Amino acid sequence: MNRITQKVINSNLRLLHIITNLPVCTSCGSQKHHRYFHSMNVKSGTKGNFRIHDTLLHLTTPKRGILGGSLSSSNVGCLVDRWTNVFKNRKISEPKESAEYIIAHVQGSKMFHEIDKSSFLTAAQHKKMEELCLRRLDKEPIQYLLGEWDFCDMTLDVRQPVFIPRPETEELVELIQQYLKTRGLENSALTILEVGCGSGAIAIALLKRFQKATCTSIDRSIDACELTTHNAVKQKVKDRLNVVHLELNKDTVEVHPEFTCTERYQLLVSNPPYIPTKDMTKLQPEIDLFEDPCALHGGLDGLDTIIRTLHIASKVLQDKGFLWLEVDSTHPAKVQRLLQDNKELNLHYVQTYQDFNKLERFCQIQKHLPV
């Protein structure tokens, strides 16, 4: 038996074990209650191999009623109920939402409420659904399964291991937009620097809101830089976005040609790695197993990249330019103290903003050169 055949058999046996232990479906009529499992043909090399057929394993007969029906007789509503129960039993976070997103996705829709719950999946859709559900059982984030995620009225591609954009970061974009509009800068040729681009969410969202703005985004991860470039092309802002693969530290930035001109930017924005070392062990499996730890871990107290960003802001921001940061809820007070203790940076703390969970999440800082 070759390794590929064994892998397929193992996957199907795993799915059979999961599904034959499911509770009764609640979305079908009582006459349609059934168990279902993955239907796939596998070529067997010897008589000793399992052979998986379109309806049942050869060691199971319909008379025994172990499955009580086939996957093809399950409507979409029933499939969601079944997989929701599987995810609940396996302690998968947001089990119902996971099932709904996956089944909507295989039907070519973004939202489950847009789908006819009494409809049925095609054979190809069944196969894709099962593949995605098995990956979800391995704790893979739903965003990676779908390959895309909405952010600020855009749909961005997402790929492992690049950091997945969070809803809190949408709030950061909104705060910046509101502030710039109150200053009458929505139609100005803003120059923006982003530290840590990830998928490109922040930079692209700002460029779409400010049509005359230009942005430089830097990241230590080549995967992040490539994904940001891809999304910028997809969102039609690549002509105003320069993506630089660069490790953020004082020495590399000072010698890089992009930063040889001081006081170049009016706005610096960053959602840096800010999780303290002690909290890295508390991350959800979806985060710990799949997302780039370098996009999460901010050092012992979570301030490593934040401190570097403050030094960069001191160098590259124009006088009266602004720095906006998304940070850990324990950080705003610490950032204020850092600026008070390092007045030579010429950075003045303006305000802390809370996120939708009422946690102190965003720092607004302004550069003021001495008179």
Do 202 and 269 contact (CB within 8 A), yes or no? yes
Please pick, among 95, 141, 272, 332, the residue that the annotation labels catalytic: 272
Nearest in space to 190 (alpha carbons), one of 201, 203, 199: 203
Integer Cα distance of 349 and 360 in angstroms? 14
Q: Compute, in degrees rounded to 10, the torsion defined by CA atoms 233, 238, 244, 248.
A: -90
Any residues with CB less than 8 A from the CB of 268 and at least 6 apart, and which? 192, 193, 194, 195, 309, 312, 313, 316, 317, 321, 322, 323, 324
User: How many residues appear in the chain?
Assistant: 371
Amino acid at position 272, single letter: P
Please pick, among 163, 210, 259, 322, the residue that the annotation labels catalytic: 163
Integer Cα distance of 230 and 238 in angstroms? 9
Please pick, among 37, 112, 271, 362, the residue that the annotation labels catalytic: 271
* R_g over Cα of the chain: 25
DSSP string, 248-317: -SHHHHHHSGGGSSSS-EEEEEE----B-HHHHTTS-HHHHTTS-GGGTB--TTS-HHHHHHHHHHHHHE
Amino acid at position 252, single letter: T
Tell me whether residue 141 is one of the annotated catalytic residues.
Answer: no
Helices (H), ranges, the chain? 3-19, 76-89, 95-106, 123-137, 142-146, 167-182, 201-209, 222-234, 250-255, 277-280, 285-288, 304-316, 331-341
Amino acid at position 332, single letter: P
Integer Cα distance of 296 and 144 in angstroms? 17
Q: How many CA atoms lie within 13 A of 98 on its CB side?
A: 28
Do 222 and 248 contact (CB within 8 A), yes or no? no
Amino acid at position 333, single letter: A
Tell me whether residue 259 is one of the annotated catalytic residues.
Answer: no
Tell me whether residue 50 is one of the annotated catalytic residues.
Answer: no
Q: Compute, in degrees rounded to 10, the torsion defined by CA atoms 229, 233, 238, 244.
A: 10
> What are the φ/ψ torsions at residue 132 (nearest 5 degrees)?
-70, -40
Catalytically active residues, by annotation = 163, 271-272
